[in-house]
Amino acid sequence: MNEGTARRSETGSATTVLLLLKRWYHVPVLAAFLAFMLWTRTLAYDRFVREDGTIAVSGVDPWYHYRTTRFTVVNWPYTMPYEVWTGYPYGTHVDHFGTLFDLLIATAALVVGLGDPSLATVNAVFVLAPAVFGTLVAVPTYFIGKRLGGRLGGLSSVALLALFSGTFFRRSLVGFTDHHVAEALFMAIAVLAYVVALHAAEVHEPSYERVTSRDLDALRTPLVYSVLAGVAMALYVWTWPSAVLLVGVLGLFFTVQLIADVLVGDDPEHVAFVGAVSLTVAGLLVLPTTSVWSFAGATTRSLLQPTLAFGVALGCAFMAWLAREWEHRGIAAGFYPVAIAGIGLGAFGAMAVALPSLFDTLAVNLSRVVPIGATASTLTVSEAQPPADAVGYMSDEYGFAFFTAMAALAFMAGEYVLGRRRRAGHLLIVIWALFVTSMALTQVRFNYYLAVAVAACNARLIGLVFRIDRSIVPDVRILRGVRVTLLVVVLLVFFVPLVSLVGPTAGATVVDRGQATGPSSDALTWEGSNEWLEENSPEPGAWGGADNADDLEYYGTYPIPEDRDFAYPEGSYGVMSWWDYGHLITVQAERIPHANPFQQNARSAAAFLTADSEERAELVLEALPAAGDRDDLTALDDDALAAIADERTARQEREEIRYVMIDDEMAGFKFGAITTYAGGGNGPYASYQQVETDDGETITAPARNDAYEDTMLSRLYYDDADGMEHYRLVHESDGTTRFASVAVSRNEGESWQSRQINRELTPQVERSIARFRADPDVEVAVYDERVQPSVKTYERVEGAELTGSVDAPEGSTVTAELELTAEESGRTFTYEQTARVENGEFTMTVPYATEQDRSVEEGYTDSSVAADGPYEISVEGERVGTAAVSESAIYDGGTGDLSLDGPATEGEDVNGDGDEPDDE
């Protein structure tokens, strides 16, 4: 080979490499972005998987996904039809959990574990799942971006998605195993599938004539892509039933697009074909998975999902038929949108009359995705609140990319309206992006959707840069320079705010937040108490010696009861707490909570926690089994509650709440949410009062008042059930929480404004106090300081009776005092009960035992709070004797064994077992 031939060979090889690089450069770049996304999302993996193989997760809902995933591993491929391990005493549907999301995780665990995964394998796959799902979102985002701005536009959109450190990133971090990230993935796949199907329809032009003539060559491609779009829509609904909202978005898109086609003289049948075929397929796939044959809420797999899909499919076919009739009859095109609007309004009016449940469901769910009409109870959920400062919030989430995305949307809309680029797929992206923007402005959590739209829409700007041609810049060299310059400017605007660590754009990057993430504090705080409850209380179905635990298998399958009221067997029981902690109780303690983060029974839990007396709280609990879905227990008087309790069947009378769990957040920060669900507000529970500050000064400042102190929540958490008859503390966590109220004055103490009332004294609050104290113009007061164990667990018992005769004046006060010690914390406290002397006798009911004679194996509680001796009995402060009380007596409503200095009642059944009392 001569030298010239060699040079030509080298040149040819170099040219081949350059051509290959030009053709395939996006593949390694995309792979690098995907690797980066997975890396940043798994930086804190070791914090979630412990050395013993157990896990901790972020948030509350992931704990329930953990339950449904493990259920599916055991029962693969079936997910949970009805959940009886929450929502006691009814059970509940969990259609928005145990979905395709959990099935995919369970399947992955089975594959990794070769069909029989260990618990450690299931845990590892579960913790990693959100990072994998979040990384995969980049794939449909790339192809949407590519449709808008070419390969470089697609890569830019993925780069943006990889650098967004806001809601989408947090929801796709390792350990945050919630369905949100799967929603983002399958919505993006569905949107991409529809864009592709619409493009195929524009190219191949399916029509009524081609359908009737069976022109498969013309129909094959749009038919295949339309079917795939329907499958993608079904996958999204199978992941989250509320994904039906995308069907509504598609309905709006098809309405606008078909009207536009008629107005400009295009054939609307091409687009209508996609809508009719795809949504018919989606409806047919979703229909067999329907579990509730009514138009229930959007979070339930009900008739809502297939009905709406079939409705939009039928609407597409109808609009295409009407357009054909319009043309045949020679009616002016301008009247077509008027006719569609009239028919649409008439259809909604008919729905409101004929199918009010469907109409109400649509109206309620519309209020959740548009920034109007949020209820007070919804606003107690932090992720369901709108951003306080929309512009600032979006800037924090996306930097300048949000605003450039809005500019790109405006440009795309302008292109469409002016007819310069009338692509149906582009209009779909505009409508979809505007809709998810509305969702994000309504509830901040929906930014996990908006991130994809923002990233993809910015690809359009990249595409615009490369649309500059010679008609604008004649010189090719200048043209290239302009493109490069504009590209650099655009990329700087996009990415500098997302990666900068210094200067005016400084902020937390994905690396910072990936390293900083960790398990939720609630789960760690409650873990010890829940583990104690699992080990020291009987299994549900075994209470009181019943032998029905096998009827409540933890991973058992239960049919859906027709009345949505599961028939719990004898020996079952529930745990009362605030709804935030229901999943923790189900998973960590393997016990059955009454309220849960589905917000089921939140109002009845609030009615109990805010009850102003033990007697009313007992009426609330007694009414629960017969109350069903009533949410007005707080508003009912005692007689009405008693009437509901009287309606209980024999089975319902056995369905009792046995434990109450209260934590520092319920007593402090979350009390406002509790009062909101109770139907009132926080106002009645605080007022200006005379208080003593930690400096010994007396001031008039806002503080919790007697109304708060009288609530069941306060009396249990702060008073250790002092003076109560049916509640005894059986466990408390060893961690403690400091509470305090803080007020400031800017007029030398003449008036005080509250900074916080009865909330945790966190390091952040202490720093704030220090800043106030450093300001010479501000006085700060800290008062009502108190320290309590973080979580307390109470048992509800019948209580034992102490009855005796004393030589004391009528109406004298008899007091029974008992010193107790909590094993975990070592804290000692005093329980006190009082009664009045009548005819020389007194009677009182006490909930604490001084002698343990019941065990977990027998179906009772192994309390970790023990009496330090007998009850000390006194009359008007003068000791007159003691009393011993067995656990048998407090469970069975028996009597205690009194030893009084004077005459005592004789012949009492002190142990509740028919034996005579022993002399002490």
Q: End-to-end alpha-carbon separation of the chain, Å?
A: 117
- Between CA 568 and CA 640 the distance in angstroms is 25
Q: How large is the average pLDDT for residues 230-249?
A: 93
Q: Determine what percent of the chain is predicted with pLDDT higher than 70.
A: 87
Domain ranges of the chain: 1-38, 137-505, 521-792, 799-900
- Between CA 91 and CA 492 the distance in angstroms is 54
pLDDT, one tens digit per residue, over 791-833 is 999 999 999 999 999 989 999 999 999 999 999 889 999 999 9
- Between CA 749 and CA 699 the distance in angstroms is 8
pLDDT, one tens digit per residue, over 67-86 is 999 999 999 999 888 899 99
Nearest to 412 by CA among 347, 468, 469, 463: 463
pLDDT, one tens digit per residue, over 843-852 is 999 999 999 9
- Between CA 655 and CA 645 the distance in angstroms is 12
| Residue 556 confidence (pLDDT) | 92
| Residue 914 confidence (pLDDT) | 41
CB distance 662 to 577 below 8 Å? yes
Parallel/antiparallel/unpaired status of strands 573-576 and 656-663: parallel
pLDDT, one tens digit per residue, over 326-355 is 888 888 888 888 888 888 888 777 777 777
The radius of gyration of the chain from alpha carbons, rounded to an integer in Å, stands at 33
92 phi and psi angles, rounded to 5 deg: -165, 160
Three-state SS string across 777-842, please? CCEEEEEEEEEEECEEEEEECCCEEEEEECCCCCCCEEEEEEEEEECCCCCEEEEEEEEECECCEE
pLDDT level of residue 6 (50, 70, 90 thresholds): low
Using CA atoms, how far residue 377 sits from 63, 582, 654, in Å, is 23, 17, 31
Q: What is the DSSP string of 390-446?
A: HHHHHHHHHTTHHHHHHHHHHHHHHHHHTTSS--HHHHHHHHHHHHHHHHHHH-GGG
| Residue 913 confidence (pLDDT) | 44
DSSP-derived 3-state class of residue 238: helix
Using CA atoms, how far residue 638 sits from 603, 619, 643, 711, 774, in Å, is 17, 7, 9, 16, 52
Q: Residue 3 pLDDT > 70, yes or no?
A: no
Q: Peptide bond preceding 917: is omega within 30 degrees of 0, i.e. cis? A: no
Q: What's the length of the chain? A: 920
Out of 3.40.50.1000, 3.40.50.12610, 3.30.420.40, 3.60.21.10, select the CATH number for domain 521-792.
Answer: 3.40.50.12610
Nearest to 72 by CA among 99, 53, 111, 112: 99
pLDDT level of residue 917 (50, 70, 90 thresholds): very low
| Residue 520 confidence (pLDDT) | 86
- Between CA 788 and CA 723 the distance in angstroms is 19
Looking at per-residue pLDDT, the higher value among 310 and 365 belongs to 310
Q: Which structure tokens are listed for 23? A: 């053709």
Query: What value, to the nearest 5°, has the Cα angle with vertex 301 and ends 295 and 305?
Result: 65
Q: Residue 497 pLDDT > 70, yes or no?
A: no
Query: What value, to the nearest 5°, has the Cα angle with vertex 887 and ends 883 and 893?
Result: 85
Out of 2.60.40.3390, 2.60.40.10, 3.40.50.2300, 3.40.50.300, select the CATH number for domain 799-900.
Answer: 2.60.40.3390
324 phi and psi angles, rounded to 5 deg: -65, -45
pLDDT level of residue 213 (50, 70, 90 thresholds): confident
- Between CA 843 and CA 814 the distance in angstroms is 9
Q: Residue 369 pLDDT > 50, yes or no?
A: yes
Q: Can 521-792 and 799-900 be said to share one CATH topology?
A: no
- Between CA 286 and CA 270 the distance in angstroms is 25
Q: Which range among 95-99, 245-249, 263-267 shows the weakest confidence by mean pLDDT? A: 95-99
pLDDT level of residue 919 (50, 70, 90 thresholds): very low
- Between CA 63 and CA 68 the distance in angstroms is 9
| Residue 479 confidence (pLDDT) | 47
| Residue 604 confidence (pLDDT) | 94
Q: What is the DSSP string of 801-813?
A: EEEEE----TTPE
Parallel/antiparallel/unpaired status of strands 878-884 and 841-846: unpaired
Q: Determine what percent of the chain is predicted with pLDDT higher than 90.
A: 61
Strand partners, 703: 687
Q: Which structure tokens are listed for 800? A: 């034992």
- Mean pLDDT, rounded, of the chain: 87
- Between CA 209 and CA 269 the distance in angstroms is 10
pLDDT, one tens digit per residue, over 351-368 is 777 777 666 766 666 656
- Between CA 574 and CA 537 the distance in angstroms is 12
Residues ≥6 apart with Cβ < 8 Å to 838: 810, 811
